[in-house]
Amino acid sequence: ADLVKVDLRAKKTESGDDYLAVNPKGQVPVLGLDGGGTLTEGPAIVQYIADQAPDKKLAPANGTIERYKLQEWLNLITSELHKSFSPLFNPTMPDEAKAIYRDRLGKTFAYIDGQLAGKDYLMGSQFTVADGYLFTILRWAIAMKFDLAQYPNLKAYFDRVGARPKVREAMLAEGLIKAA
């Protein structure tokens, strides 16, 4: 699969193509499918990818209660965390409004912190696509100067996921970290 960077403000791909022709919503991510067509929402994309390699156990089997629990986590991450970060990245958003979103994010971080007590990952001992998604959001939290130390289970989780070899490999490939 080829990675294509997008300038979301200009709505152009790195080659200068009109990104709205790829995704009329103008948002990322987008996954081009081998048979044609696309998927455009993160929770759908990560479940599709997980289902392409079921032996990796990145998502429980469809139709199981565990799969619905995974979807529950993906929905929480996308609706309560991902979308609540958008205003923080907006330079025209007033500080008073940003404070409301920071408070909302803090409450959700506190909830997740409680849910992680005694668990390695969101679903227990198995790393899933929801963990990859949450880890990405937690990287934004660090960039936005959230103090994860006040959420000890969440901080330990962030460190644990960040130390996974495949996570480090992906971050190196994306240029998010430098080789040690």
Compute how many other C-beta atoms are within 10 angstroms of the C-beta atom of residue 75.
12
What's this model's pTM, rounded to 2 decimal places? 0.89
161, two tokens: 């996921």
Q: How far apart, in whole angstroms, are the C-alpha atoms of residue 144 and residue 65?
A: 35
Question: In the predicted model, is pLDDT for residue 1 greater than 60?
Answer: no
Per-residue pLDDT of 53-96, as tens digits, reads: 999 999 999 999 999 999 999 999 999 999 999 899 999 999 99
The chain-wide mean pLDDT, for the chain, equals 91
Q: Is the peptide bond before 29 cis (omega within 30 degrees of 0)?
A: yes
Q: CA 16, 22, 23, 29 torsion: positive or negative?
A: negative
Is pLDDT at 99 greater than 90 in this prediction? yes
For residues 109 and 21, the model is more confident at 109
Per-residue pLDDT tens over the stretch 141-175: 999 999 999 999 999 999 999 999 888 888 887 77
Sign of the CA dihedral 38, 41, 47, 53? positive
